[in-house]
Amino acid sequence: MVDVAGAAELVPAGTELLAARLAHAQRLGNMGWAEWNLRTGEAVWSDQVYVIFGRDPDDGPVSLPDLCDHVEPCDAAALDELLWDVLQGTTPDVAPRPGPAQAEFRIRRGGGAGELRDLRIVLEPLMAPGGPVGMHGVIQDITGRRRAERMMSESRRQLLEAREQAAEERHVMLALREAILPEPVGCLDLPHTRIAVRYVPAEKTANLGGDWFEAAPMPDGRVLLAIGDVSGHGLPAIAHMAQLRHALIGLTMTGQPANRLLGWLNELVLHQLKDTTTATAIIGHLDPATRVFSWSQAGNLAPILVREGIATPLRKPKGVLLGAADGRPYELACTKLLDGDLLLMFTDGLVERRTRDIDVGLDLTLAAARDLPRDLRGHDLDAGLDRLLADIGGPNPEDDACLLAVGILG
């Protein structure tokens, strides 16, 4: 036997549960429903619509004619067009609308100078035998979504601008470097010597720095060979590099040995450049007649000597970073080169990587150096440097590098 009284009690309980679930869904979606009676002018809002509009429920819903007063003036036309489209679709001589109409507009939450909110409304007519008697709509607050879209759009715009600016800055800095330090095309053929040079810019524009080189005959017949790296990146480092390299070119005319030249450059960095600026360098003189390379270094990695297929670093003479200390002497070392020898001078950007230890980079460089051509007349030293760079991992994303190869011809 069915308990009629018990079943009757379940109906209100089930209805209340359904209403609670519907209200919860409206809160989660930040949406609500509204109905407007076109004949009586009455309106009904769900609780969430009051929340969306920031309106006190005691004030009741906003009538359809007054709805435009709550919309931002520049968006009022969108609401008018929506209402027209919905009603026009109910006219007998107009083709029926395929589905509900929708539009987006903005309101001031709470009215006046309240918070600006983005809303989307979907409307459809409530039909009766005599025509439309009202409108039913679902209103959703999409402020968060539109705000996120605007932020993403702005982020994309800023990213594109940053990329364009970075490309322009890279072009300017590379052009400035080229003007200050033009890279020779192919190999330089000096008396009994073949020289190839590579400047490898950092992949990241902001990391273009002050690496430099010099290879030129001197009035006394010797060949000046030098490389260096000024600390820092960007235009300041390039400017300091130009000062240091131009000073070296002038000082070289004194005919003084490499260690004396480094001492003078150290004074320049200490007293003329910024307090935090330091630099590494190798300066040497190669005598083509005796094949003796006299050189000094200031905190730079030692050159690599390739002889009969064996690559070994030279023993470094003592020398501190330029700009690190005053009055510290620089030692002079002398290395006798033989026919067919190949000397590699390079800055630290060639072997250093954030992803690996510097010793790994040096080992890769030594291994690649062994494969450079022995017969400098019969092979292309310039192309050999390209292969060496590829074998050790290509350009460094974090730092630029200079590589200077000196081959002794028999």
Q: Which residue has the higher pLDDT, 308 or 203?
A: 308
For residue range 317-333, list pLDDT tens digits in order.
999 999 988 878 999 99
Q: What is the pLDDT of residue 375?
A: 56
86 Cβ contact partners less than 8 Å away, ≥ 6 residues apart: 97, 101, 123, 124, 125, 135
- Compute the distance between CA of residue 318 and CA of residue 302 in angstroms, rounded to an integer: 11
Range with the poorest average pLDDT among 216-225, 291-300, 393-402: 393-402
Q: What is the CATH number of domain 28-141?
A: 3.30.450.20
- Whether the pLDDT of residue 174 is over 80: the answer is no
Taking all residues of the chain, what is their mean pLDDT, rounded to a whole number? Answer: 84
For residue range 203-251, list pLDDT tens digits in order.
666 566 788 999 888 889 899 999 999 988 877 888 888 889 989 999 9
Torsion of CA 242, 243, 246, 251, to 10 degrees: -150
Average pLDDT over residues 9-19: 63
- Tokens standing for 375? 């017969």
Question: How is 294-332 classified by DSSP, letter by letter?
Answer: EEEEEBPPPPEEEETTEEEEPPPPP-PPBTT-SS-----
Helical spans, DSSP H, in 204-345: 234-252, 258-272
Task: Find how far residue 245's CA is from the centre of its chain.
Answer: 30
Q: What is the pLDDT of residue 26?
A: 75
Q: Report the sign of the C-alpha dihedral through residues 274, 278, 280, 283, in that order.
A: positive
Q: What is the pLDDT of residue 186?
A: 52
Nearest to 403 by CA among 170, 222, 174, 187: 187
- Compute the distance between CA of residue 341 and CA of residue 372 in angstroms, rounded to an integer: 11
| CA distances, 118 to each of 124, 144, 146 (Å) | 20, 8, 7
pTM check: above 0.85: no
Looking at the DSSP bridge assignments, the partners of residue 393 are none
Q: Which regions of the chain carry the CATH code 3.30.450.20?
A: 28-141
Give, in words, the CATH class of 183-408: alpha beta
Q: Which residue has the higher pLDDT, 96 or 145?
A: 145
- Residue 346 in contact with residue 403, Cβ under 8 Å? yes
Q: Which regions of the chain carry the CATH code 3.60.40.10?
A: 183-408
Banded pLDDT at 140 (limits 50, 70, 90): very high
